[in-house]
A and B are shown apart, each in its own frame.
Chain A
Amino acid sequence: MSKQYQFKLVLLGESAVGKSSLVLRFVKDQFDDYRESTIGAAFLTQTVTLDDQTTVKFEIWDTAGQERYKSLAPMYYRNANCAVVVYDITQSASLEKARTWIRELQRQADPSIVIALCGNKLDLAARRQVSQEEAKKYADEEGLMWTETSAKTGEGVTEIFTAIAQKLPLTAPSATRAGGARAGPGARAGVDLNKQAASAGQPEACNC
C-alpha cells in the first residue's frame, strides 16, 4: 500500500537571493530572468517520490516579501516541518542574513525542524563571494543540510528537496497530521469551513 506524507516547508533568506525562483524551478520547472518580487504566488505544492510505496508532498510557503521589514508573522513558522534558507553565493552579506534567519528558526520554530542551507545562483559561480568551505563549515556546526543550486539551470534543485524528503521522519500518516503537517482538508483535526460551506448547500454562501 502506498503512503503519502505531507509536510509544511518554509522558505527564508534575504530579498532577491532567488527563493521564489527556486520554488518555481522545483514546482513548475520554469525560470524567469526578470522575475518581479513575489506577487500573487499563492500556495504551491510539489510531490517527491521516494520509492514505489512512499511519496512526500511539500506544502511550500513563500515569504511573500514579509521578510523585508522584519514582518514575518508567527503563523509563518508555525508547524513548519522543514525550512530552506537561501543565500546568494555572489553576495557574502546574504550568508550573514541566512545565519540570522537560522537563529530565528531555532527560536521560533519547532525544535525538530529540518533546515537546509542553500547557496543559490551557482550559474554565476564566476562571481562567487561565498566559498563552499565557509558555508559547509557553518552548516556542519549548526547541524544543517547544505547544498548549492542554480534555479536558472536547475542544477541541484530537485536534489535538495529530495534530500529533505529523505531526512524527514516518516512516521505513520496519522502521526504527521498530529505533528502539525496539514494533510489536506479531510485530514484536519478541526472543522473544515470549505467543505461545510459546499455541503451545507447554502446558496447565500456563494453569491455574496
Chain B
Amino acid sequence: MDEEYDVIVLGTGLTECILSGLLSVEGKKVLHMDRNDYYGGESASLNLTQLYRKFRPTQSPPTELGRDRDYAVDLVPKFIIASGELTKILVHTDVTRYLEFKQIAGSFVYRDGKISKVPSTEMEAVRSPLMGLFEKRRAKKFFEFLQGWKDDDPTTHQGINLDKDSMKVVYEKFGLEPGTQDFIGHAMALYLDDDYITKVARPTYDRIILYTSSMARYGKSPYIYPLYGLGELPQSFARLSAIYGGTYMLDKQIDAIVTDDEGKFVGVTSGGETVKAKQVIGDPSYFGAGTDGGKVRVVEEGKVVRAICFLKHPIPGTEDSDSCQIIIPQNQVNRRHDIYIAMVSSTHNVCAKDIYVAIVSTIVETDRPEQEIAPGLSLLGPIYDKFVDITPLYTPTSSGENDNIFITRSYDATSHFETVVEDVQDVWKRVVGSDLVLKKREVEVQG
C-alpha cells in the first residue's frame, strides 16, 4: 500500500463503480476500497444471510425461504429505463457482456382505489379503463401532439412553446382531467410530486418521450432489470475498472481521511497505513454521514422509507406479472410525494421459486414513515415478511474543487437510475474538469 494513486474511490455502490470504471479506462491509477466484504454499498443486492445480518442480527433466516444463495435482495428499488442514460453507459463500456437483462413485465398506476396498466400506445390508451370516452379522445390528441412535435417545424407546435409555456398550459390546451394529468406526470414522466406542473414544459415532454420510446423498445414495460439483482451492476463496472488496472480491496475499514494544513486531500488511512492519492471519491457514509467521528462533509436533505416485503404470490391485480412497478400518485392518497412499488421474482434470479420480492417506498413526510407507505403495503396482499428501512438522503456540502474530496449523493426515491447517471456526470466533471464523453471501447478480435 505504499504506492501513490491518482484516485482513491471509497464505497462500491453503483455511482462509485461507474466512476471507477470510467476513470480506469481513461488511464487513471485507481484504488477502490469498501468497508463491507461485499460489493454494492447502499446499492447492493444481499443474500438472505447478509439481509438478516443487516436488519435482524440476532435472527437467522427461516429455512422456509429456501437456499441462501438463491437470493439477491436489492436495497434500493430501481429499474433501468430501456432507452435511458444508464443503458447508454452499459452499452458503451461493454459491461453488458457480464450481464443479462430481462424486461420488467408491467407498469401500473393506482387510481380511485384500484390499479390499471399505464397505457403507452394509442391502442392501449383507447382500451384503458383509466379514462372515459371523451377523455380518451383528448388524451389521443395530446399524445399525437407530443409524438408529432418537431422543434424546427412550427406547424407541429399548435401555438405551444415548450421552452416558455408551463406544463399546466399544455394540459389545459388539451383539456386533460386531473386524474389523467396524474398518470401522465407521475406514471409516465415519473415525477415524484406536482412541482413540474407550474414549470416549463420541455423537461416533461422529454420524460414522456423517454418513457414511450423505452416502452416501444421491448414492449411490456419501459424497464429492464439485470438477472441476479441490481448488485450485478456495480460488480460489472468494478470488473471493468480492474481490467483497466484498478486495484480492489473489500473488507477494509477506513479510519481517517487525511488532509493537509489547507484542508486539501492527502490520503486515506486504513488499518494503520495511509495510502496517498491526488483525489478521493466516495459515498456519503465515508464522509461523516450518520457518524460521530471525523469531519462531516455532507448534509441530510430528507429521508426515504423503504419496506422490503417477501410475498408468496404475485401482486393482486397485476395479471400475475412476474415483475412490475406500481405508482401511487400523491394526489390519490393525499400526499406530497408518490408511493412506489417495485416487484421482482425468481424469473430474475433474485429469490427462490414462488417467492416475490416487493419494495414499497416513498419520501418521508411525517414522523411516522411506516404509516406513510400503508397504502402501498395494502395493495400487496398477505405479506410473508417485511424489512423496513428509513434512509437519510445525503448530499455533499462542497464541490471538492478546493479540497480534492468528491462526494457522491445517496440513492434517491426515484424508480430508475437517471439521477444516478446525472450524479456520475456531475462528479466526473468536478474530478476530471471536463464533461463525460463516452468513447466506445476498442472491439478486440475474438479467436
Interface residues of A (CB under 8 A from B): 27-28, 38-47, 62, 64-66, 68-71, 73-76, 78, 182, 188-194, 196-197, 200, 202, 205, 208
Which residues on the A side are within 8 Å of B87 (C-beta)? 193, 197
**A42, B96: Cβ atoms closer than 8 Å:** no
Interface residues of B (CB under 8 A from A): 37-39, 82-83, 87-88, 90-92, 94, 96-98, 100-103, 213, 217-218, 224, 227-228, 232, 235-236, 238-239, 242-245, 247-252, 437-438, 441, 444, 446-447
**A69, B249: Cβ atoms closer than 8 Å:** yes
In the complex the two chains form, what is the Cα distance from A200 to B447 in whole Å? 29
**B243, A200: Cβ atoms closer than 8 Å:** no
**B239, A196: Cβ atoms closer than 8 Å:** no
**B251, A70: Cβ atoms closer than 8 Å:** yes
B252 smallest CB distance to A (angstroms): 8
22 contacts between A and B (CB under 8 A): A28-B447, A40-B245, A41-B243, A43-B97, A43-B444, A46-B447, A62-B243, A68-B247, A69-B249, A73-B238, A75-B98, A78-B228, A188-B100, A189-B102, A190-B224, A191-B82, A191-B103, A193-B91, A194-B91, A197-B91, A202-B83, A202-B213
Which residues on the B side are within 8 Å of A196 (C-beta)? 82, 217-218
A178 smallest CB distance to B (angstroms): 12
Find the A residue at minimum CB distance from B228. A78
In the complex the two chains form, what is the Cα distance from A129 to B43 in whole Å? 45
B25 smallest CB distance to A (angstroms): 9
Which residues on the B side are within 8 Å of A65 (C-beta)? 242, 245, 247-248
In the complex the two chains form, what is the Cα distance from A39 to B29 in whole Å? 11
**B100, A190: Cβ atoms closer than 8 Å:** yes
**A42, B444: Cβ atoms closer than 8 Å:** yes
Find the A residue at minimum CB distance from B216. A200
Which residues on the B side are within 8 Å of A47 (C-beta)? 447
**Which one of A45, A71, A194 lies within 8 Å of B96 (CB-CB)?**
A194
B320 smallest CB distance to A (angstroms): 20
User: Given contacts A42-B441, A64-B243, A73-B235, could you give 10 more A-B pairs where the C-beta distance is less than 8 Å?
Assistant: A42-B94, A62-B243, A65-B248, A66-B238, A66-B248, A70-B250, A196-B82, A197-B91, A202-B83, A208-B438
In the complex the two chains form, what is the Cα distance from A69 to B94 in whole Å? 25
Assuming A43-B97, A196-B217, is B236 touching A75 (CB within 8 A)? yes
In the complex the two chains form, what is the Cα distance from A194 to B95 in whole Å? 11
Which residues on the A side are within 8 Å of B444 (C-beta)? 42-43
Which residues on the A side are within 8 Å of B224 (C-beta)? 190-191, 193
In the complex the two chains form, what is the Cα distance from A71 to B251 in whole Å? 8
**B235, A74: Cβ atoms closer than 8 Å:** yes
**B101, A193: Cβ atoms closer than 8 Å:** yes
**B232, A75: Cβ atoms closer than 8 Å:** yes
**A190, B238: Cβ atoms closer than 8 Å:** no
In the complex the two chains form, what is the Cα distance from A71 to B97 in whole Å? 20
Which residues on the B side are within 8 Å of A205 (C-beta)? 83, 88, 91
Which residues on the A side are within 8 Å of B236 (C-beta)? 75
In the complex the two chains form, what is the Cα distance from A67 to B298 in whole Å? 33
A41 smallest CB distance to B (angstroms): 7
Which residues on the B side are within 8 Å of A194 (C-beta)? 91, 96
**B239, A75: Cβ atoms closer than 8 Å:** yes
**A193, B96: Cβ atoms closer than 8 Å:** yes
In the complex the two chains form, what is the Cα distance from A190 to B235 in whole Å? 19
- Kindly name the residue among A38, A68, A69, A182 whose own CB sees the greatest number of chain B CB atoms within 10 A: A69
**B251, A190: Cβ atoms closer than 8 Å:** no
**A69, B248: Cβ atoms closer than 8 Å:** yes
Find the B residue at minimum CB distance from A60. B447
In the complex the two chains form, what is the Cα distance from A64 to B243 in whole Å? 5
In the complex the two chains form, what is the Cα distance from A121 to B283 in whole Å? 43
Which residues on the B side are within 8 Å of A44 (C-beta)? 446-447
In the complex the two chains form, what is the Cα distance from A95 to B94 in whole Å? 35
**Which one of A40, A66, A182, A200 lies within 8 Å of B100 (CB-CB)?**
A182
**A39, B243: Cβ atoms closer than 8 Å:** yes
In the complex the two chains form, what is the Cα distance from A54 to B100 in whole Å? 26
**A64, B242: Cβ atoms closer than 8 Å:** yes
**Which one of A27, A42, A64, A192 lies within 8 Å of B447 (CB-CB)?**
A27
In the complex the two chains form, what is the Cα distance from A189 to B217 in whole Å? 16
**Which one of B90, B92, B244 lies within 8 Å of A40 (CB-CB)?**
B244
A3 smallest CB distance to B (angstroms): 19
Which residues on the A side are within 8 Å of B38 (C-beta)? 74
In the complex the two chains form, what is the Cα distance from A75 to B235 in whole Å? 7
Which residues on the A side are within 8 Å of B244 (C-beta)? 39-40
In the complex the two chains form, what is the Cα distance from A189 to B348 in whole Å? 11
Which residues on the B side are within 8 Å of A73 (C-beta)? 39, 235, 238-239
Find the A residue at minimum CB distance from B96. A193
B48 smallest CB distance to A (angstroms): 14
**A42, B98: Cβ atoms closer than 8 Å:** no
3 interchain residue pairs of minimum CB distance: A64-B242, A71-B248, A73-B235
**B251, A189: Cβ atoms closer than 8 Å:** no
Find the A residue at minimum CB distance from B47. A74
Find the A residue at minimum CB distance from B219. A191
In the complex the two chains form, what is the Cα distance from A158 to B359 in whole Å? 49
In the complex the two chains form, what is the Cα distance from A43 to B38 in whole Å? 24
**B90, A193: Cβ atoms closer than 8 Å:** yes
B245 smallest CB distance to A (angstroms): 5
Find the B residue at minimum CB distance from A188. B100
In the complex the two chains form, what is the Cα distance from A27 to B445 in whole Å? 11
In the complex the two chains form, what is the Cα distance from A74 to B245 in whole Å? 19
**A69, B243: Cβ atoms closer than 8 Å:** no
Find the A residue at minimum CB distance from B250. A71
**A191, B218: Cβ atoms closer than 8 Å:** yes
A91 smallest CB distance to B (angstroms): 22
Which residues on the A side are within 8 Å of B94 (C-beta)? 42
In the complex the two chains form, what is the Cα distance from A39 to B24 in whole Å? 10
In the complex the two chains form, what is the Cα distance from A64 to B98 in whole Å? 14
In the complex the two chains form, what is the Cα distance from A40 to B246 in whole Å? 10
Find the B residue at minimum CB distance from A41. B243
In the complex the two chains form, what is the Cα distance from A189 to B100 in whole Å? 8
**Which one of B101, B247, B248, B446 lies within 8 Å of A191 (CB-CB)?**
B101
